[in-house]
Amino acid sequence: MNAYKKQMKVVMLFVVIVFFVQIALCQNFARKEVKIPDVLGYRVLKCDFHTHTVFSDGDVWPTLRAEEIWLEGLDAFALTDHIEYTPHKDDIMINYNRPYEIASPLAKARGITLIKGGEITRKMPPGHLNAIFLKDVSPLKTDKWEDAIQIAYNQGAFIFWNHPGWKAQQSDGIAKWNKEQEELLKKKCLNGMEVVNEKEYYPEVHKWCLEKNITMLGNSDIHDPANMAFDFAKGEHRPMTLVLAKENSEEAVKDALFNGRTVIYKDNLLIGKAEYLLPIFENSILIKNPEVVLKGKERVNVQIYNSSEINFELTLDKKPEDISAPEKITLYGDRTVMLGIRANVKETPEKKETPEKKDMTGKKDIDLNYKVKNLLIAPEEGLPITLKIKAEFEKKD
């Protein structure tokens, strides 16, 4: 045993010791949960299907991505380094499966589902596509992009179009539907599209997903450390895809993706089908005093607690008949707000207040119909919701 090897053995021993010292410190490493409720018997998994590491043009080692995902409250993610674009190749030996292999033990120890993927990085068309749930990424390095996609398809991958309106590939920032995409869709090789990528939202892609029944995705496409890209202290978060899955497993996520059970979460915005957004809203909201007494034209506050982390921005959709309610109100996340209502009474010349309509006495069910403008069921179209109240109308003493 030569001197250097002996030295190394000692170094390794240090490493073991350090590892255990760090474990003790690491107890303090805490995960912030994403506060969006489960719905419809599914778990609402928080996922990011588009991330990079030093193995392509990212700035971080693969394990760090798993650590970030856990700390930020996500449940599953895919490592999707560029296949054709590897600027660090003078220093890093290219092996497209390594990011997954390196991050896998940590992800498992954290209870995070890690999905193997790769980004097919071509000029437009077809642009950039992610293939995830791959068995082996290496064969996707081909001359022709058509071959790469076919190989991914053969491995059972879920394939989606990344940032279709990316300015580097669409100078006007608006995605174009080409015959190449049409072809891929027909061959079941275009299973999803990024309606949201990093800081961008593509309304035209949103529309296509609804029309063509393609799964909607929102991903970070992160290259830097997450807390450099997002200011968590200001409440920022990475864009993510909420996946309605039976459990947190690769199979359940895959099933949900192929069946379109996703909602996109970007800034203070949720994007998805009404059938998913409505129960998310309803499971978030608690009307604390749903039964109120309205005396004359006195204002009464309905107190509403929103247990989610989203500020729901409501706009009155249809004026209720018997009462006045605010045109706009924001139900702040993790806060209780007052929604002030009062009976529509008129003052007589004798200053006695009377209900505007004769039958406005006794108890009555009141529907407050609002649209939630930041729960998007289509471009610029907010989710319609109803707040239900029981009101008892009384004359003022």
Judged by CB under 8 A, the chain residues 117 through 156 that form the site for its own copies are 121-123, 143-145
Of 219, 158, 172, the residue nearest 194 (C-alpha): 219
Q: Total residues contacting its own copies (rule CB under 8 A)?
A: 85
Tokens, residue 343: 């009976």
Question: Does 50 sit near its own copies (CB under 8 A)?
Answer: no
Interface residues for its own copies in 329-388 (CB under 8 A)?
A: 329-330, 332, 334-340
**Beta bridge mates, 341:** 300
From the list 4-12, 40-48, 364-372, 385-393, the region that binds its own copies by CB under 8 A is 4-12
Q: Which is nearer to its own copies, 9 or 135 (CB)?
A: 9
Q: Note whether 18 binds its own copies by CB under 8 A.
A: yes
Residues between 250 and 279 that touch its own copies (CB under 8 A)? none
- Nearest-angstrom CA–CA distance, 121 and 106: 28
| CB burial of residue 333 (10 Å; 0-12, 13-18, 19+) | middle
Q: Specify the residue, 227 or 283, whose C-beta has the smaller distance to its own copies.
A: 227
Residue 301 interacting with its own copies (CB under 8 A):
yes
**Of residues 167 and 388, the one with the C-beta less far from its own copies:** 167
Hey, is 148 helix, strand or coil?
helix
Q: Which DSSP symbol is given to 374?
A: E
User: Of 194-253, which residues contact its own copies (CB under 8 A)?
Assistant: 224-225, 227-228, 231-234
What value does the CA radius of gyration of the chain take, rounded to a whole number of Å? 26
Q: Which is nearer to its own copies, 136 or 224 (CB)?
A: 224
178 binds its own copies (CB under 8 A): no
Q: Which of 92, 210, 269, 378 binds its own copies (CB under 8 A)?
A: 92
Location of structure tokens 């939630």: 372
Binding-site member from 37, 43, 97, 98 for its own copies (CB under 8 A):
98
Residue with smaller CB distance to its own copies, 216 or 252? 252
Cβ atoms of residues 100 and 81 within 8 Å: no
d(C-alpha 306, C-alpha 314), whole Å: 13
Piece in contact with its own copies (CB under 8 A), picked from 24-32, 212-220, 357-365, 389-397: 24-32
**Residue found by looking up tokens 């039964």 in the block:** 291
Tokens linked to 317: 């959709």
Check if the beta carbon of residue 116 is closer than 8 Å to that of residue 153. no
Which of 111, 321, 352, 392 lies at the binding interface for its own copies (CB under 8 A)?
Answer: 111
Question: Does residue 292 belong to the site contacting its own copies (CB under 8 A)?
Answer: no
Q: Which of 38, 138, 167, 319 binds its own copies (CB under 8 A)?
A: 167
CA 263 from centroid of its chain's CA atoms: 6
- Confirm or reject binding of residue 21 to its own copies (CB under 8 A): yes
- Tokens at residue 370, please? 């609002």
DSSP 8-state class, residue 336 = E
- Sign, Cα dihedral of 15, 17, 22, 23: positive
Q: Which is nearer to its own copies, 268 or 274 (CB)?
A: 268
Site for its own copies in 70-89 (CB under 8 A): 71, 84-85, 87-88
Smallest separation (angstroms) from its own copies to the CB of 300 = 8
Terminal Cα distance for the chain, rounded:
99
Which of 359, 115, 346, 156 lies closest to 250 in space, CA to CA? 115
The residue range among 29-37, 149-157, 344-352, 384-392 that interacts with its own copies, by the rule CB under 8 A, is: 29-37
